[in-house]
């Protein structure tokens, strides 16, 4: 598949992940040898102690780069997505984490990058969720999520009471430990541990997964991605509540708050090697049996 080539590359990695610093250094040397112009995200620069690097703040990467290469695991790529998506900057992942559903290339196979940079790659879009918390008609907080928006109790022994509405239609009242609202990308993350379905990344759908609900009849619900989802927090709740997007940005909730969730206007553009296959990734990461 012949696509536009990448000449100006931004590098990003997460501090504290084993092997990231070494891989960034090897990647820098490799890309310079290919004649690429490099830019380093400002919080990554300390891992590359070179004076000849062009350092950019995260929100300005698109001004110079046409590709963001992220070194780390899926958590690192989530961080990168929050930066790259509003800038419409394509992202390529180098896996230094554990599972790595989103990061395709291993550090010992950096030669795969050569063909990608020359335009031989698969490009895939993933949608995100936009979350708004409202209280008495006022917006309290907003955020985006590539994986999921999660409602949680502040006390492990207390359940949460809430109502679910979809496109203003009442669905159900729930009493549960929490609720996961997930994209197809997030369906192999926290939602999977909670018993949610695996959604193919190209499905235009959102799954709602209650966490340990106080009823045996509760099951995950899959709705169209353009649905307007509202979670109404009951005023009967007596425990502190919180909502997070991608497990990173947590906000406390007041009883009587509403969480409004819908599809975000921008997409994540993921770059894969030409031999990328989603089902191969599932089989490898989840330990499914191979056919002989």
3-state secondary structure (DSSP) of residue 30: helix
- What is the C-alpha to C-alpha distance for residues 265 and 128, in angstroms, rounded to an integer? 8
- What is the C-alpha to C-alpha distance for residues 24 and 36, in angstroms, rounded to an integer? 15
- φ/ψ (deg, to 5) at 37: -90, 130
- What is the C-alpha to C-alpha distance for residues 129 and 122, in angstroms, rounded to an integer? 23
- What is the C-alpha to C-alpha distance for residues 208 and 182, in angstroms, rounded to an integer? 6
CB 155 within 8 A of CB 90: no
DSSP 8-state code for residue 154: S
Parallel, antiparallel, or unpaired for β 258-272 and 229-233? antiparallel
Catalytic residue among 74, 104, 177, 246: 74
Q: Where are the alpha helices (DSSP H) in 212-266?
A: none
- Annotated catalytic residue 74: yes
Residue 265: CB partners within 8 Å, gap ≥ 6? 130
- φ/ψ (deg, to 5) at 32: -65, -40
Edge-to-edge strands, sheet with 205-211 = 221-224, 205-211, 178-182, 148-153, 241-245, 249-253
Which residue numbers are catalytic? 74
């Amino acid at each position: 598949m012949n696509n536009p080539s990448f000449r100006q590359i931004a590098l990003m990695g997460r501090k504290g992940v084993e092997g990231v610093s070494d891989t960034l250094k090897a990647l820098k040397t490799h890309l310079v040898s290919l004649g690429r112009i490099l830019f380093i995200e400002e919080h990554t620069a300390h891992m590359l102690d070179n004076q000849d690097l062009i350092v950019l703040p995260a929100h300005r990467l698109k001004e110079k780069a046409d590709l963001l290469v992220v070194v780390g695991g899926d958590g690192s790529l989530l961080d990168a997505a929050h930066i790259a998506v509003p800038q419409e900057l394509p992202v390529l992942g180098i896996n230094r984490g554990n599972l790595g559903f989103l990061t395709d290339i291993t550090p010992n196979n950096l030669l795969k990058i050569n063909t990608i940079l020359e335009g031989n790659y698969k490009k895939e879009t993933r949608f995100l969720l936009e979350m708004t918390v409202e209280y008495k008609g006022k917006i309290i907080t907003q955020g985006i999520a590539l994986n999921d928006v999660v409602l949680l109790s502040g006390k492990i022994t207390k359940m949460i009471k809430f109502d679910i509405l979809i496109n203003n239609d009442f669905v159900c009242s729930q009493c549960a430990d929490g609720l996961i609202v997930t994209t197809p990308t997030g369906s192999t993350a926290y939602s999977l541990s909670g018993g949610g379905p695996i959604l193919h990344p190209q499905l235009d759908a959102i799954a709602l997964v209650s966490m340990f609900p106080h009823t045996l009849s509760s099951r995950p619900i899959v709705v169209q991605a353009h649905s307007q989802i509202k979670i109404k927090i009951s005023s009967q709740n007596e425990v502190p509540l919180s909502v997070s997007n991608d497990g990173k940005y947590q906000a406390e909730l007041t009883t009587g708050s509403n969480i409004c969730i819908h599809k975000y206007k921008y997409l994540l553009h993921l770059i894969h090697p030409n031999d990328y296959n989603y089902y191969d990734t599932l089989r490898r990461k989840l330990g499914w049996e191979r056919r002989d």
